[in-house]
Structure 1
């Protein structure tokens, strides 16, 4: 995508932040990026955002520009797994280049590694948690355990909620039937939760998302079977999975 270059110092509002982020490969939509932006802006100076799963830095750039505006910081965790799907060292290099291009070197701290291995030795407080790591049940539910360091009532943002089978299974197990997290809302597959004890009505809202989840799984099956015209009938006119 070609666009007019943007001076990083001009990224003082969401439009500017998104202009920096949208050219970075990734699956975060503009509407979802705005959710991240607004969540970061709610933090006071000195607060810390933890991002699990950074890839080339699309979401990190949005979080970082908002964090810079309020005086917060971002810790980005990603193992940069080798292989065709994730890209390994070249992906890390592109991440670092994108963060530098956005003028966020002093705002974003990169910790390369697996979130599940780093968590047991973590001791710093977290004020906003964004989870977009490995999408299997076991990794996602372990990533939720980072909330032990979260400010009481703090926000947890989870990408691929009600889209990924592993993440949705974890939401059902730990949030629908748990007692530590409350479902707030979602923008596409980006869901917001809070580290608070849920009321029965809030558990019902989790269940209300199941039909949308089943629809997404059905569309993924259609795409795997190369039945995109059928997926189009169900409102998905895109070659990629619903995110």
Structure 2
């Protein structure tokens, strides 16, 4: 879905990626975007800590981009998305959100849609898999007048900057059973009840992303 959306960018267009980590999704976006003479802006603060890795993660990010030969198609903005947005002025053509998954950060990241044109796409990773992201969707997308739910591929959801109708809103509600299933599996894995998780079709030690 990332690759296909980047292929539809207008010539010279701009993708904003929130949350890059080691650059896997950045490489996918850049590989497709460079064929459109488009550019990816990767936003990640690379903060220190066990969960994020800090400078070592940034080094792997830069190495992976170089290995894939897409460095020239990517600009790194090493900052928090919530701090970068208030002073932003450049128009965007595609927004990909995969940053911090708490409700408040995700809600703020959705505000980047203001820089998209009508019909511009917003891709959200871990939608209907993360409690914080899903709550953000229910509060800020379900009742929005300028963002409609299109579809998803596993936990990658696609939205469009357009006025939604009732069917668009109902499709969001239709994903809630799948979300509850995913949250339940996460709880089972943390309780070391993987055999029970298998009963729900999840045969992996990792969260259902």
| TM-score, normalised by the number of residues in structure 2 | 0.99
- 30, 55, 58: which one aligns with 1:89: 55
- 191, 203, 206: which one aligns with 1:240: 206
For 1:219-234, what aligned pairs fall within 5 Å after superposition? Answer: 219-234=185-200
Structure 1 runs of 4+ off > 3 angstroms? none
Counterpart position of 1:27? none
The 3-state SS of whatever aligns with 1:242 is: coil
Counterpart position of 1:119? 85
Counterpart position of 2:21? 55
Q: Measure the CA separation in 2 of the matches of 1:140 and 1:122.
A: 17
1:198 matches 2:156:
no
Q: Which runs of 5+ in 1 are unaligned?
A: 1-34
Q: Measure the CA separation in 2 of the matches of 1:126 and 1:178.
A: 20
The 3-state SS of whatever aligns with 1:51 is: strand
Counterpart position of 1:9? none
Counterpart position of 1:44? 10
The 3-state SS of whatever aligns with 2:118 is: strand
1:130 matches 2:96:
yes
- What's the C-alpha RMSD, in Å, of the aligned pairs? 0.6
How many residue pairs are counted as aligned between the two chains?
209
Q: Which runs of 5+ in 2 are unaligned?
A: none
| TM-score, normalised by the number of residues in structure 1 | 0.85
Q: Measure the CA separation in 1 of the matches of 2:160 and 2:208.
A: 24
Q: Deviations along 1:90-124, whole A, 9 cap, x unmatched? A: 00011011111111121000000100000000100
Q: CA deviation at 1:151?
A: 1.4
